[in-house]
């Protein structure tokens, strides 16, 4: 028995050329041609060696004329060798991992497969891939063509994949979608290689056209929030996923969140019909209009409208994503007036007034039976309540206080607050309208002033309401009752102070913090209150320190917005010199002053 000895490591493949010539490929990186007719000392002699691969040579395939051959290797290359002179004439590059098998597809094309779920079709005359196919399995061990139009790929997942260019054998859409999903989950793309790409939502594949062929986008999957890589080649196709995606989705310099090619104040996670959507929202937008546009863009059922609005209303906030302050300021929570201590007494008084107005302005008995629970959670009856309020706004002036008291309680509910303004701000409740004007000007008696001022403060009960108040700030400031015209009542003064405090909370919003005129006007309201303190006209009011603390908190928020001016410096000195002296025994005022000083040191530079 003869032996063939010469390789230093494992022999990986054999290929007969003729009955007397044999090619062998080895993990020692060499290929050897043996002449079986030349035997010396019992060993077949080497006729020629082919050197060039940098790693294990795994397979061989003869050229169609058998005057050369192809070799595949762990070095990720395919080489074509001239059998006569032993030279490597072509190196085919395209695989990204080990190559395990090579086979002919037809006279001009061959196919290879390997690790990293790759099958590549090659044209013999081109050293770059003619077509690259990814399969939803880690390894493709072998490929074999049955005809020039059909080939099979053997996967490590136990599945035999069949490929063809016959149109009548194309898979149906459902099978193709399933295959694409399997493929994407298998193909891992490292974040480092796509970190330069922006993250988009799935709807961008329809709404934002590609700039060029081969363009790639990172897309968040609606199904499980996986970050996918899509590539454009006549259509968008997923080519893999990014398991280690770690890009921060928040711009701290602007306080905004990126969404497709824009930035928004908020981007909410919404799950509808088993899919995960991103709902972008700017605080100055109407939640109903945003939700309607979102439904149309994503081709959703309009039955989702209410839940989308509720998502925006419940989760929209002025509190930043990252809070770094070390003291009391800024304060992010609005001061609202929500309690109604005795609903039954209120209902009884309301019934009395209802009986005295003209019949066309009266409410039916069903409105008068609204429960305490419905008052606190009026989401289900918002439409009915707004219809009732349209009547109530036309009640006589001397009865407006009880209408305002009802409205101020309802406005503390975020959903009703948003719904009411969505319905009313273009007509019954807008600057210049009779009812809005009566609320702003407050009247000259205790009940009217107290309830009206609390309505204005409670506009901040939702982000949409706060934006309405901000949009109309100049009008409200110019037309509202002045400090000096307030009724001498601690609750009236606290309600009035809370309006300006709530405006100061808006300064946590990045865009509003840039509005220097807005900040300057808040400072003017603080100074007007300071004049009231200096005149000592507050002294008849018991517990007036509660009003002072609200206005000090307003000033603290203003300082935290980096409001640097001579007015602010002067007011701080006034607090340090006069307030401490006048209220030296009040620990709350001393604490608040200390927190203002901390904020001043932190934000004034």
Residue 365 pLDDT level (bands cut at 50, 70, 90): confident
Residue 230 pLDDT level (bands cut at 50, 70, 90): very high
Please give the pLDDT value at position 141: 95
Shared domain check, 422 and 286? no
Cα–Cα distance, 482 to 320 (Å, whole number): 33
Cα–Cα distance, 290 to 312 (Å, whole number): 9
pLDDT surpassing 80 at residue 402: yes
Whether 548 is in a domain gets the answer yes
CATH number at residue 57: 2.130.10.10
Closest-CA residue to 465 (of 507, 413, 514, 406): 413
Please give the pLDDT value at position 1: 61
Please give the pLDDT value at position 2: 66
Residue 261 pLDDT level (bands cut at 50, 70, 90): confident
CATH number at residue 394: 1.25.10.10
The residues near 99 (Cβ < 8 Å, ≥ 6 apart) are 58, 59, 72, 73, 74, 76, 77, 78, 112, 113, 114
Tokens 């007969």 label which residue? Answer: 16
Cα–Cα distance, 559 to 331 (Å, whole number): 11
Cα–Cα distance, 408 to 411 (Å, whole number): 5
Cα–Cα distance, 330 to 599 (Å, whole number): 8
**Cα angle 509, 596, 464; round to 5:** 25
Query: 115 - beta bridge partners?
Result: 139
Which of 481, 498, 531 is the endpoint of a domain? 481
Whether 79 is in a domain gets the answer yes
Picking from 153-157, 185-189, 300-304, which range would have the lowest pLDDT averaged per residue?
A: 185-189
Cα-only R_g, the chain: 38
Q: For 2-23, what is each residue's pLDDT tens digit?
A: 678 889 999 999 999 888 899 9
Helices (H), 359-445: 365-368, 372-376, 382-392, 400-410, 414-424, 434-441
pLDDT surpassing 80 at residue 102: yes
Shared domain check, 263 and 234? yes
Reading the block at residue 118, the tokens are 């790759």
pLDDT surpassing 70 at residue 96: yes
The number of angstroms, rounded, from the C-alpha of 203 to the middle of its chain's C-alpha atoms is 13
pLDDT surpassing 70 at residue 595: yes
Shared domain check, 159 and 230? no
Which of 183, 216, 234 is the endpoint of a domain? 183
Q: What is the mean pLDDT of the chain?
A: 90
pLDDT surpassing 70 at residue 509: yes
> CB–CB of 311/279 below 8 Å?
yes
CATH number at residue 253: 3.10.20.870
Shared domain check, 146 and 20? yes
Reading the block at residue 458, the tokens are 């409670």
Shared domain check, 266 and 256? yes
Shared domain check, 200 and 156? no
Tokens 């002072």 label which residue? Answer: 548
Shared domain check, 537 and 449? no
Shared domain check, 126 and 67? yes
Coil, strand or helix at 100? strand
Total number of domains in the chain: 4
pLDDT surpassing 70 at residue 536: yes
Q: For 283-327, what is each residue's pLDDT tens digit?
A: 999 999 999 999 999 999 999 999 999 999 999 999 877 666 668
Shared domain check, 449 and 417? yes
Coil, strand or helix at 232? strand
> CB–CB of 267/281 below 8 Å?
yes
Mean pLDDT of the region 333-357: 92
Long-range contacts of the stretch 299-304 (C-beta < 8 A, 24+):
300/272, 300/273, 304/272
Whether 335 is in a domain gets the answer no
Which of 434, 457, 481 is the endpoint of a domain? 481
Coil, strand or helix at 472? coil
Closest-CA residue to 547 (of 600, 486, 473): 486
Reading the block at residue 454, the tokens are 């609390």
Whether 213 is in a domain gets the answer yes
Shared domain check, 384 and 285? no
Whether 402 is in a domain gets the answer yes
Please give the pLDDT value at position 252: 65
Mean pLDDT of the region 150-179: 85
Higher-confidence residue: 168 or 404? 404
Higher-confidence residue: 81 or 247? 81
Residue 253 pLDDT level (bands cut at 50, 70, 90): low
Whether 323 is in a domain gets the answer no
Whether 442 is in a domain gets the answer yes
Shared domain check, 192 and 135? no
Domain extent, residue 535, equals 482-605
Q: For 417-441, what is each residue's pLDDT tens digit?
A: 999 999 998 888 999 999 999 999 8
pTM of the predicted model as reported, rounded to 2 decimal places:
0.72
Whether 467 is in a domain gets the answer yes
- Residue 111 backbone dihedrals phi, psi, to 5 degrees: -130, 145
Closest-CA residue to 563 (of 510, 517, 511, 604): 604
Shared domain check, 451 and 416? yes
């Amino acid at each position: 028995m003869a032996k063939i000895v010469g390789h230093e490591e494992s022999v990986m493949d054999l290929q007969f050329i003729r009955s007397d010539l044999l090619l062998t490929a080895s993990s020692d990186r060499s290929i050897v041609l043996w002449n079986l007719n030349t035997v010396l000392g019992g060993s077949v002699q080497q006729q020629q060696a082919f050197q060039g691969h940098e790693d294990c040579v795994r397979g061989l395939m003869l050229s169609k004329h058998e005057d050369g051959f192809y070799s595949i290797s762990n070095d990720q290359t395919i080489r074509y060798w001239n059998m006569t002179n032993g030279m490597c004439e072509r190196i085919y590059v395209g695989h990204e991992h080990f190559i395990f098998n090579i086979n002919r597809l037809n006279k001009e094309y061959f196919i290879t497969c390997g690790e990293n779920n790759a099958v590549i079709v090659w044209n013999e005359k081109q050293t770059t891939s003619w077509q690259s196919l990814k399969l939803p399995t880690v390894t493709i061990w072998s490929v074999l063509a049955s005809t020039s139009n059909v080939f099979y790929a053997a996967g490590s997942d136990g599945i035999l994949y069949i490929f063809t260019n016959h149109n009548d054998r194309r898979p149906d859409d459902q099978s193709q979608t399933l295959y694409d999903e399997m493929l994407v989950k298998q193909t891992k793309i490292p974040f480092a290689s796509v970190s330069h790409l922006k993250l988009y939502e799935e709807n961008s594949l329809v709404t934002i056209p590609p700039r060029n062929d081969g363009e790639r986008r990172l897309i968040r999957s609606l199904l499980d929030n996986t970050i996918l890589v899509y590539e454009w080649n006549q259509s968008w196709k997923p080519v893999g996923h990014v398991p280690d995606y770690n890009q921060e989705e928040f711009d701290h310099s602007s306080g905004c969140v990126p969404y497709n090619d824009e930035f928004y104040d908020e981007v909410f996670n919404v799950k509808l019909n088993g899919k995960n959507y991103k709902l972008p929202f700017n605080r100055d937008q109407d939640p109903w209009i945003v939700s309607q546009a979102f439904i149309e863009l994503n081709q959703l059922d309009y039955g989702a409208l209410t839940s989308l609005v509720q998502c925006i209303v419940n989760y929209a906030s002025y509190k930043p994503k990252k809070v770094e302050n070390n003291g009391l300021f800024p304060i992010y929570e609005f001061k609202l007036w929500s309690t109604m201590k005795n609903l039954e007494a209120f209902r009884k008084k309301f019934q009395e007034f209802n009986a005295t107005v003209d019949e066309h302005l009266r409410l039916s008995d069903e409105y008068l039976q609204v429960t305490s629970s419905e008052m606190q959670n009026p989401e289900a009856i918002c439409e009915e309540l707004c219809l009732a309020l349209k009547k109530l706004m036309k009640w006589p002036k001397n009865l407006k206080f009880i209408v305002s008291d009802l409205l101020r309680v309802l406005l503390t509910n975020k959903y009703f607050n948003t719904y009411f303004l969505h319905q009313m701000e273009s007509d019954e409740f807008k600057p210049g309208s009779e009812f809005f004007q009566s609320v702003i000007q407050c009247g000259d008696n205790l009940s009217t002033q107290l309830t009206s001022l609390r309505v204005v403060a409670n506009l901040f009960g939702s982000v949409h309401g706060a934006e309405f108040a901000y949009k109309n700030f100049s009008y409200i400031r110019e037309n509202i009752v002045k400090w000096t015209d307030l009724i001498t009542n601690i609750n009236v003064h606290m309600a009035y102070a809370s309006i300006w405090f709530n405006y100061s909370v808006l300064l946590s919003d990045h865009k509003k913090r840039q509005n220097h005129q807005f900040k300057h006007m808040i400072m003017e309201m603080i100074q007007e209150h300071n004049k009231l303190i200096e005149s000592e006209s507050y002294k008849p009011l018991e517990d007036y320190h509660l009003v002072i603390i609200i206005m000090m908190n307003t000033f603290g928020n203003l300082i935290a917005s980096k409001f640097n001016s001579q007015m602010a410096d002067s007011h701080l000195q006034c607090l340090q010199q006069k307030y401490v002296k006048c209220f030296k025994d009040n620990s709350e005022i001393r604490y608040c002053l200390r927190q203002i000083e901390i904020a001043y040191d932190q934000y004034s530079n």
